[in-house]
Each structure stands twice: as C-alpha cells, then as structure tokens.
C-alpha cells in the first residue's frame, strides 16, 4: 500500500513537522483580528439588545423601589 | 526558519487579549454605571424591605386584618395598598390605585411562598410567610392591569390572580375612612 494514502499515522516522527512557518505567520497575523471581530460582533449584539430592552421596556415601565 | 515568528504571534495574541479585557472592563463599568445612574436619577431600585410579621394571626389582627386590606389614603395624602397573598387568591381580588401618584404596595402571606408581578410595570416581588413584601411605585397610565402569582404555590396556582385598577384623579375618590375600592365598570 502506498504511504500517502495511509495518512498521518504512517508518517515517521521526522516527517511530522512539515508546517511552513512563514505561511503560519501570515495566517496568524489575521487570526486575532478575526477572533476579535467575531467576538466583538457577538458582544455588540448582546449589548445592543440589553440597551434596547433597558431603554424601550424597563425605563418606560416606571419607578419601582 | 525564523524563531521570532512564534514570539510575534504570542505578542499579537496577548495584545488582542489585553484589548479585549479592556473592552469588557469598559462594558462592565458602563452597565453598572447605567444601573447606578438610573437608581440615582429615576429612583428605580430593586425593592428591599426586611420586616417581620407573624403569619399565624396575620388576618386576625393588626395591619393585614380583613377590614384593613385594600387601598387607603392617609391624612398626609400617602397611598398605601395592603394585600394578602394566600392559596389560591389575593385578598382583595381587585385593588384600586391612583394614576401618577406614589403608591406603597404591601403584601403578606399566611401560608406558603408566593410571588407577584403587575403587568406593564416593574412591580415584581416575592411574598414570603413571616415577612412583609413592600414595593414603592407609580402607575403612569390608567386602566386595568393583571396581577398574577408567579411563584408556584400549589394546585390552584394558575387561578391565583388579581386586578389592579389604575384610576384617574376623577375616579380615585377615597370614602370617609380614606379607603378606595375598585370602580364598577
């Protein structure tokens, strides 16, 4: 059986680290930005919902204490 | 292959995490600030009242005796409404309150834990046997509001509700004893 269809299991230890560090560095430049945009967008939607309920529902319902 | 790359990655990730932490800190402070600002300027606070009462003879004598339930206007013009929450009804079943005036709502339970809210308002409290639940509020609009029990209190829980009748100045007329009852409509 050819080695390439056996997948990673068949690889010898010296073949494992075949990651191109430059390509990884290029990707890692944008990963934090992407994570920030995704998490920031999700939190922004949550905060927007909170503020809308606070201003449009909670405050008009009046004084309580 | 340069060894500086992993360090550069870590620095970039650390910078992003610090920026995120700062943003979350700003959000937390802003949210707490909104709550404090509303409490100070609009007088909107969580109801807080620790006052003991004996649940065994609640309805026999004292503040929550039957003749004293409902809405009363004191000589100084303050409006106090007293209601008993019991399995499975509120007594009285209809309470009259004025529109646009401060009202103090006082609730007590002789049996189990109840809870209540008044629809369309921020009134929402638990009623725990042995304690008086007190809420200060002001009703902005006139009309009939529903006041259901919102804490499961037994098999008849779903039947436990009352009506809050918010009356305009013309309709909110205390009788000779300062008591106000629901208008017949």
User: Is the pTM for the entire model greater than 0.90?
Assistant: no
User: Would the CB atoms of A32 and B15 count as touching at under 8 Å?
Assistant: yes
Using the Cα atoms of residue B53, residue B49, residue B158 and residue B154 in order, give the sign of their dihedral: negative
Q: How confident is the model at residue B1 (pLDDT cuts 50, 70, 90)?
A: very low
Give the ranges where chain A is alpha helix by DSSP (H). Answer: 21-53
Mean pLDDT across the stretch B65-79?
93
CA distance A2 to chain B (A): 30
Is the model's pLDDT at B47 over the cut of 80? Answer: yes
User: Would the CB atoms of B34 and A54 count as touching at under 8 Å?
Assistant: yes
Is the preceding omega at residue B52 within 30 degrees of 0, hence cis?
A: no
Nearest Cβ partner for A64 among B2, B34, B137? B137
pLDDT in tens, A24-33: 878 877 888 8
Q: ipTM higher than 0.90?
A: no
Q: What is the mean pLDDT of chain B?
A: 92
Could you tell me the two tokens for A40?
Answer: 């920031």
Weakest mean pLDDT among A15-29, A35-49, B107-121, B136-150: A15-29
User: Would the CB atoms of B5 and A25 count as touching at under 8 Å?
Assistant: yes
Q: Using an 8 Å CB-CB cutoff, list chain A residues near B138.
A: 62-63
CA distance B155 to chain A (A): 31
pLDDT in tens, B154-173: 999 999 999 999 999 999 99
Mean pLDDT across the stretch B20-26?
94
Residue B4 has a pLDDT of: 54
- Confirm or reject contact between B158 and chain A (CB < 8 A): no
DSSP state of B154: S
The DSSP result for B19-77, as a single string, is HHHHHHHHHHHHHHHHHHHHHHHH-B-------B--GGGTTTSSTTSGGG-EEEE-TTS
Nearest Cβ partner for A28 among B9, B45, B121? B9
Could you tell me the two tokens for B82?
Answer: 């007293």
Nearest Cβ partner for B121 among A36, A39, A62? A62
**CB–CB of B94/B80 below 8 Å?**
no
Return the percentage of chain A with pLDDT > 90, whole number: 37
**CB–CB of B81/B105 below 8 Å?**
yes
What is the C-alpha to C-alpha distance for residues A25 and A54, in angstroms, rounded to an integer?
44
Mean pLDDT across the stretch B132-143?
94
Is the model's pLDDT at B116 over the cut of 90? Answer: yes
**Exposed / middle / buried, residue B41 (Cβ in 10 Å: 0-12, 13-18, 19+):** exposed
CA distance B134 to chain A (A): 9
Within 82-121 of B, beta carbons closer than 8 Å to A belong to 102, 120-121
Determine the angle formed by the axes of helices A21-53 and B4-42, rounding to 10 degrees.
10
């Amino acid at each position: 059986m050819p080695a390439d269809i056996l997948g990673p299991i068949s690889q010898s230890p010296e073949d494992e680290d075949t990651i191109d560090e430059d390509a990884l560095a290029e990707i890692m430049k944008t990963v934090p930005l992407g994570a920030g945009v995704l998490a920031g967008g999700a939190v922004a939607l949550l905060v927007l919902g909170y503020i809308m309920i606070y201003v449009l529902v909670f405050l008009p319902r009046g004084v309580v204490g | 292959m340069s060894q500086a790359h992993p360090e550069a990655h870590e620095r970039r990730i650390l910078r992003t995490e610090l920026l995120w932490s700062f943003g979350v800190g700003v959000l937390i402070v802003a949210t707490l600030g909104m709550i404090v600002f509303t409490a100070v300027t609009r007088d909107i606070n969580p109801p807080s009242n620790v006052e003991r009462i004996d649940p065994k003879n609640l309805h026999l004598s004292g503040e929550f005796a039957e003749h004293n339930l409902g809405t009363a206007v004191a000589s100084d013009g303050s409006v106090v409404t007293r209601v008993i929450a019991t399995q499975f009804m509120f007594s009285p079943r209809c309470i009259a309150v004025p529109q646009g005036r401060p009202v103090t709502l006082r609730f007590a339970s002789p049996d189990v834990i109840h809870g209540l809210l008044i629809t369309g308002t921020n009134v929402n409290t638990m009623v725990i046997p042995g304690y008086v639940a007190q809420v200060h509020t002001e009703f902005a609009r006139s009309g009939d509001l529903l006041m259901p029990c919102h804490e499961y209190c037994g098999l008849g829980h779903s039947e436990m509700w009352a009506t809050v009748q918010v009356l305009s100045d013309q309709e909110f007329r205390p009788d000779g004893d300062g008591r106000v009852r629901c208008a017949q409509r």
